Amino acid sequence: MLELNRRHLLAGTAATFVAIQAGTSQAQTETIRQDDRRTRFDTGWRFAFGHLNDVEKDFGYGGDLRTYAKQGIDATPVAKADYDDSQWRPVTLPHDWAVELPFVHKEPKIPLKPDDHGAVWDPAANHGYKPLGRDYPETSVGWYRKTFTLEATDKGKRISLEFDGVFRDAMVVINGYIVKRNDSGYTPFRVELNDFLNTDDTPNTVLVRVDASLGEGWFYEGAGIYRHVWLVNTNPVHIPQYGVCVRAKTDGTVEVATTVRNDSNVSQKVRVSSSVHYQDMPSSNPNTYDDSSVELAAWGSAEVVHHIKVDKPALWSLEEPHLYFINSNLWLDDLNVDLVSTRFGFRDIRFDAQTGFFLNDKSVKLKGTCNHQDHTGVGAAIPDALQRWRLQQLKDMGCNAYRASHNPPTPELLDLCDEMGILVIDETRMMTSSPEGLAQLETLIRRDRNHPSVILWSIGNEEPQQGTERGAHIARTMKRLCNELDPTRLITAAMDNGYGEGITEVIDVIGFNYRDHLIDDFHAKYPNLPIIGTETASTVSTRGEYIKDDAAHIVPAYDTTAPWWATTAEGWWPHFDAKPYIAGGFIWTGFDYRGEPTPYSSWPSISSQFGALDTCGFPKDNYWYYRAWWQPEPLLHLFPHWNWEGKEGQDISVWAHSNADEVELFVNGKSAGRKTVTKDLHVEWVVPYQPGRIEAFAYKAGKVILKDKRETAGAPAKVVLTTDRTALVNDGMDCTVIKAEVFDAKGRPVPKADNLIRFAVSGPGAVIGVGNGNPNSHEADKASERKAFNGLCCAIVQVTGAGGITVAASAEGLSGSKVVLRSA
């Protein structure tokens, strides 16, 4: 029986693995360091801008048309080991250079005209007015350079680099040899290094040229090596990338298919062992182990399938996301030459055309959000800890599902969804059956098919061919590949027209992007086709604003405004909630995101206003609508603020989101009426403004269960810092979000405060980004100061070492504040 403490495995500490050879009682032992197999390769890089058109400014790349003529140091001068890169800037990955660039607005060469719905779309707005593209050759190409040394013992090993994501058009050069080109900005790729490496203490130089002049989406996508990079070091006999496929059933049966490769010049007899372990607890059940031997030809590979039975497995669910892991070990005689640990869960999923989605035979309404990979301060280069923080904000709202829009997500996001109990629609970037499109789809499925959180593969989003015969042909080819690689999950696509035509007959679950008014008739016509809302609602709102101001690009935060193609929160959720045959829906979006500014699609707007949370993750009022109806715990949220200077005596609309029976509003102590709460709707009063206080009482069975209030605040007097985490991990990556809020002298939040807040850090930490959620702000993300927007701003602080970290905030004329963190 193989015994393993998962903490050792996942933390990368040395552990001893013990296996009992099938048919004997003799134990075999060999120490393997998991961190020696796959190590993070994020530090020690340097960065410099190249040039899109000028060879000399692009470090000689393409000079004399010889870049591909001869391999070696001729690829570009910067590939030489003695090249002086001291003028290059040190960076740590993940890195997004686009977020560091200023916002730039140029008048379009061709005057913009309104579309059929009166909207004026500026193409430069799609990526948030960052200077990328053919008009900005100086900032559209970036070079990354790193030197590293291997040990003499690494000679003969199989060594590669794994890039989780580079945006985009990446060229990898190792010791002067161009070894890889990769166009996709979202698909991970692997680079074999063996033939080009030095293992004699001579430094190795790796270069990555990234050309972000072309985009893949219509939203902010960043630029650079914005996801992790890994150095992989294995024995010639090894398990290749994505080489373990686990299929587990709720009855405890597990099928493990392990690909084994022999990259050596002689045949090898390899013993493969597979063992199942629960979370941090090593298993002692002998039935959770299987092994067998296989003969591998030189430079050959084979797949070994094991069947294991786990008694009474703990199921993966939203409430209790129990996780297991498979240890796959390879043995040459008594030598343990490779180990791969693969996490998975026992769970059952199904879609029913009449009754919706089921997880472990329990009906679950999908309460989802769509999201891009983008956050204030850091752009697309989101640290892992910030990914967790974002998911927690969504989960606290009641969100139980996540659609990765419109591309494969970063691997760590799926790991977190597994851990936190969040369901996922996993989406490929391109709907095409071209070799490149199918290769991207195959990589997505091989990478992600072991995640219990993934419930659907999405092959497209609002594609032009969705309602055509050609689209159906393409979809069939893509679906055939999906089913070949993973027959356990269904296929969907997000459609915004062509329902009943084209790909409708091909996909397993029909995805409605808006067009809610067509769903009931569609279900009547196609009663056997499951339905989800792949994009629903698109309420646009500006946090803390309650009067529409088109000149200032401001939208009220009441749930009243949506683009022509969409509805508000109350326009979709009551319908979806009432129809059991609708499996659920995914709001557009969980967070505001850069680019695609809506409803104002031109300067000065630089981000969308769709989110239930703004770009910082500060909740808007609509967040509390979903919290009221997506979570069972009692909730009362009263708005707007009560600072309406100059509007004394004028009517103000006051709303409350609550899941109580009734809500009563008091204005300066006098009742303005008690109203019954209708399921999935808000309650509302219109009262004349009087400075002072509004207060709401929520009633359940006639008794007050909650109170909420808004008071007229005075002048800004102090800044208060808060954070949800003060204990951080000293791994060079962990981070926390520091919230700065402006209060008056009596401790009341000042809802319109716009003071400039300065952040200072002492100790082993650094501010890696700031923000305030203002969709029209052109302040720098990479800074140590930020204006408050409607009373709030934030700083993201990342650890740089061990010890105490003090974060202080100050503002002219206001008293400051501090929070103390600990990195260990």
Q: Which residues are catalytic?
A: 462, 535
CA-based angle 50:56:61, to the nearest 5? Answer: 65
List C-alpha distances in Å: 172 to 91, 110, 144, 162, 191. 17, 37, 9, 11, 8
Is the distance from CB of 391 to CB of 409 less than 8 angstroms?
no
Token pair 């949220």 is found at 637
- Residue among 819, 817, 816 nearest 804 (CA): 819
Omega prior to 168 cis, within 30 of 0: yes
Q: With contact defined as beta carbons under 8 Å apart, do 416 and 320 qualify?
A: no
- 613 contacts 590 by C-beta, under 8 angstroms: yes
Are 809 and 816 a contacting pair, CB within 8 Å?
Answer: yes
Nearest to 394 by CA among 597, 613, 192, 593: 613
- Hey, is 691 helix, strand or coil? coil
Q: How far apart are CA 60 and CA 76, in angstroms?
A: 5
Q: Which residues contact 743 (CB under 8 A, 6 or more apart)?
A: 713, 716, 717, 718, 719, 720, 749, 750
Sign of the CA dihedral with 276 first, then 278, 283, and 286 last: negative
Find, among 784, 779, 377, 384, the residue nearest to 615 by Cα.
377
DSSP H or E segment with residue 386: helix 384-397
Three-state secondary structure of 624-649? HHHHHHHCCCCCEEEECCCCCCCCCC
Spatial distance between the Cα atoms of 822 and 318, rounded to a whole number of angstroms: 31
Beta bridge partners of residue 229, listed in sequence order: 163
Distance set, CA 80 to CA 177, 200, 519, 544, 576 (Å): 11, 17, 61, 55, 61
Query: Is there a contact between 493 and 461 (Cβ–Cβ < 8 Å)?
Result: yes
Max Cα–Cα distance, the chain, nearest Å: 90
Coil vs helix vs strand at 132: coil
Q: Residue 703 is inside which H or E element, if any?
A: strand 703-711
Beta bridge partners of 369: 402, 587
Torsion of CA 97, 99, 104, 105, to 10 degrees: 130
Q: Are strands 454-461 and 490-495 parallel, antiparallel or unpaired?
A: parallel
Contacts of 704 (CB under 8 A, 6+ apart): 697, 698
DSSP state of 21: P
* DSSP conformation class of 34: H
Write the single-letter amino acid at 792.
L
- Whole-number Å distance between alpha carbons of 593 and 371: 8
The helix/strand/coil state of 440 is helix
**For residue 88, what are its two tokens?**
């290059």
Q: What are phi and psi of 10, to 5 degrees?
A: -75, -25
Two tokens, residue 692: 């002072």
Q: How far is Cα 744 from Cα 748, in angstroms, rounded to an integer?
A: 5
Report the Cα 291 to chain-centroid distance in Å: 37
- Sort strands 366-371 and 401-404 into parallel, antiparallel or unpaired: parallel
- 282 Cβ neighbours under 8 A, 6+ residues apart: 3, 4, 5, 6
Residue 195 near residue 70, CB atoms below 8 Å = no
